[in-house]
Amino acid sequence: MKKDEKLLYKQRIKGNENISSDRLDDLFTQKANRRILLLPISPYVAFYEIGKQFYNKDQIEQQKEQVQESLSERIKMAREHEKFAKASRLERKLNRKSDKLSTKLEDGNILMRWGEPLAIYDSAATERTKDQIKLFLESKGYFDSKVDYETSERGLKDRRVTVTYKIEENEPYFIDTVFYDVGDDKVMMSVLVGGARNRLVKPGDIYDQSKLTSERERIETLMKNNGYYTFSRQFVEFNVFRDPDTTALGLEVLINRPQDALQHKRYTLDAVNFTTDVNTQLGGVKRTVEKFNSINYSYYKYSYKKRILDQRVFLRPGEYYSLEKTLNTQRQLANLDMFRFVNVKYDTAGGDFVANIFTSPLEKYQLSNEVGVNVNVTFGLPGPFYNVSLKNRNPFGRVEIMELSGRLGFEGVANLSDQTDVTTATEARANLSFTFPHFLFPFGTQLKSRFALLNPKTKTGLGFNYTKRPEYIRSNLNGSYGYSWQNKKRWIFDLTITDINLIESDLQDDFREALDEQATFGRQLSRSFLPSFVSSSSINISKNFNNYGQANSRASFIKFFVETGGNLLNINAISNNINDDSLAYFQFLKASVDYRTYIPYGRESTFAYRFHIGAAKPYGEFSRGLLPYEKYYFAGGSNSIRAWAPRRLGPGSFVETDEEGNFIYNFERPGEIILETSIEVRRNLISFLDGALFVDAGNVWSFSENDEPGSDFKLDRFFNEIAIGTGFGLRIDFSFLIMRFDLAFKLYDPARETGERWTIDEWNLGTRDNYGPALNIGIGYPF
């Protein structure tokens, strides 16, 4: 930094009451350097300056020219010798290296890209920011607002500049009246008035320019959904009338006429044609054309049941053109997973208005493979896995999908009777499933067509799972049948009518002896390893708001889950004829709610939050007060309370101890009630690396104590039994996956005596007394 230059250290906004500072921060023309943990230094500047020392632009340009010359000559020679595959590989190599060197030329070397140049204060940029804020306030209806700024200089030799923008919003202007002008077109006026209930600009609203833009788009969509095929938003004009004595505004919505006509034309479909096999070639053969439900189907070979396809087509001759129906047709045909592409094009030649639907079939058979590594540091060693799936599209001509899938995996696990002994576990799974693109109910064709807007599916499957561990071998034969659909508000419903599991286990002698030694927990675990028949029905309802998990703006996700097990056992005629000596049966109710949200703030930071609550209750004489082991809740682990080992927290304040009073976490700790919440602050550190600070809280409880003191849920004490963990983590973004490393410490341990549960003074870098760091490695974000 030169002697006469100063550093832009901080920018802040004061005086704004209605417009958030986060929205105004985006208007800063010049950005101050990022800092970590509010320290007065920026490591990003250091990265940039170090990288700059090794940056030679002329050398990189010369290197780029040499690469292009060398590889271009090799490509030329390969083509001359008709080695076209080699030429293609060299072209890809040339493009890859050229792109890499171009990035270096434009953005600097990797250290420069990780960092940022020093923010030298620019007074002209401050003036531009002031003007930008003024224009933004006016766009939000604050026409009488005032914006000014002041600077203060601090630090060594007063070379750090802080800019404070001062805002006086004053009274906003309101829209008093809204009226339309469409000339003499009474039909268009009726369409506008009919859709006015959904308008985005209403009397009483504060003037907002962005809402006018959205309203223009809404009017365009409204027109296109009511037959106006050639209408566009450019025909919509807003005229604002301002009363000089008040803050009231009049808004005229003017629909301009097309240049070559007095009115906008309203289009009616004359015909709908559906070609099912575009890009298919059969020499000398003409396509067969058949009409079904007023649609002309054209194909070389009959492949799809027209009645099924017809349910996903929402265009009919004699109806007005509709953009919504066009998009629904494309979307629902694409959801069938039968076609490589789905296009709907309109033809106005010859005076007729014709809808042409073109689809190209996907390959009938699709084989997919996946090889990877299970990562589970809690049990010691990662292990390989292999997934394979064979998909058969349209095997019976009714647009169904048959899929045969399998999995084989190995991983290192800890022996339940000796946590220091890490051995190998094997998991194998095979599953055959059928997916039908409608509800398999005796409904009429017309009703099924209405349901088609919900993207209905009927799913049925038969599977077999095999697990082999040093302690036991466990097999599970599973059958299921259910439905899924999605409503107009994007709620996703997954209804399982029946899910049946026949479970068989073979226990090793030493493991059986270990169960006998665990009097209370062993009773539950041993029953879960008896030959069992577990049946249930469930519904899963979820919604993703604003593309949660992928959006760069505020987004959230919520899921409701309800399950009921052993329903047929409630029928006396069935229960009276069941002998539970040969098989263990279960009756239970289970429900949970899972809510997640993340809120971006600042330049590259995100606040994320999760809340999960659930309960599972056994009932009936067959259950004997117990749940199937898989239906219990567990807390702890990389996607739960990260300071505790997976499935080892709780229940309540109960914990097992050895003869010396030390806590024992050898066995998983099931619960019937769960309460979990997590708060995480994420911030980008450098291009591919994010950091996070987090706090997790939660626990599991039982409905009754079951000889485990403190394990039962009580309203007057459960909040004192909520475990709290905290820590920090790193996330490495490899573009195709995110590798997560979290280091967590127990902050509040409900297993300790009351008054001794805060444990921050016992933190250590080892594992002494269970208060050392817990390392969690995972794929993706925890929520």
Phi and psi based region of residue 512 (left: phi greater than 0; alpha: psi -120 to 50; beta: remaining): alpha
E strands, 7-145, are 7-14
In this prediction, residue 662 carries a pLDDT of: 79
pLDDT at residue 535, as a whole number? 92
| Rounded CA Rg of the chain | 33
Q: How many residues does the chain have?
A: 783
Q: Which residues of the chain have pLDDT under 50?
A: 376-380, 519-523
Q: What's the half-sphere exposure (Cβ side, CA atoms, 13 Å) at 381?
A: 16
Q: Quote the pLDDT of residue 420.
A: 54
Residue in 409, 417, 420 with CA at minimum distance from that of residue 386: 409
pLDDT at 522: 45
Strand partners, 747: none
Q: Which of 618, 719, 622, 621 is nearest to 670 (CA)?
A: 618
The three-state secondary structure class of 536 is strand
pLDDT of residue 701: 95
Q: Are 188 and 180 in contact (CB under 8 A)?
A: no
Backbone φ and ψ of 127, nearest 5°: -60, -40
**Region of residue 183 (phi > 0: left; psi between -120 and 50: alpha; otherwise: beta):** left
Cross-strand pairs, 616 = 590
Element spanning 75, H or E: helix 57-80
159-218: per-residue pLDDT in tens? Answer: 899 999 999 999 999 999 999 999 999 999 999 999 988 999 999 999 999 999 999 999
435: its two tokens: 């997916």
Kindly report the backbone phi and psi dihedral angles of residue 181, in degrees, each rounded to the nearest multiple of 5, phi listed first: -135, 105
Query: 174-181 and 248-255 as β-strands: parallel, antiparallel, unpaired?
Result: parallel
Which of the 8 DSSP states describes residue 410?
E
Peptide bond into 651 cis (omega under 30): yes
Q: Using CA atoms, how far apart are residues 338 and 223, in angstroms rounded to an integer? A: 32
Paired tokens of 497: 């009518």
Distance between CA atoms of residues 132 and 126, nearest Å? 10
CA 689 → CA 180, 664, 738, 739, distances in Å?
A: 53, 36, 10, 10
pLDDT score, position 537 = 96
Residue 379 confidence (pLDDT):
45
CB 532 within 8 A of CB 501: yes
Tokens 């194998």, residue?
A: 428
pLDDT at 768: 58
DSSP label at residue 156: G
The phi-psi region of residue 255 (left if phi > 0; otherwise alpha if psi is between -120 and 50; otherwise beta) is beta
Can you say how many angstroms the Cα of residue 204 is from the centroid of all Cα atoms in its chain?
37
Alpha-carbon distance 510 to 347, whole Å?
76
Q: Which domains does the chain have, with CATH numbers?
A: 7-168 (no CATH), 174-255 (3.10.20.310), 271-361 (3.10.20.310), 367-517 (no CATH), 538-783 (2.40.160.50)
Read off the tokens for 720. 């004192």
Which residues, in sequence order, are CB contacts of 545 under 8 Å at separation 6+?
555, 556, 557, 558
Q: Write the DSSP string, 239-281.
A: EEEE-TTSSEEEEEEEEPPPTT-SS----B--EEEEES-TT--
Q: Which residue's entry shows tokens 């401050």? A: 126
Q: Which amino acid makes up residue 715?
A: L
Distance CA 729, CA 643 (A): 12
What whole-number distance in Å separates Cα of residue 5 and Cα of residue 22?
28
* Cα–Cα separations (whole angstroms), residue 745 to 288, 771, 773: 70, 7, 5
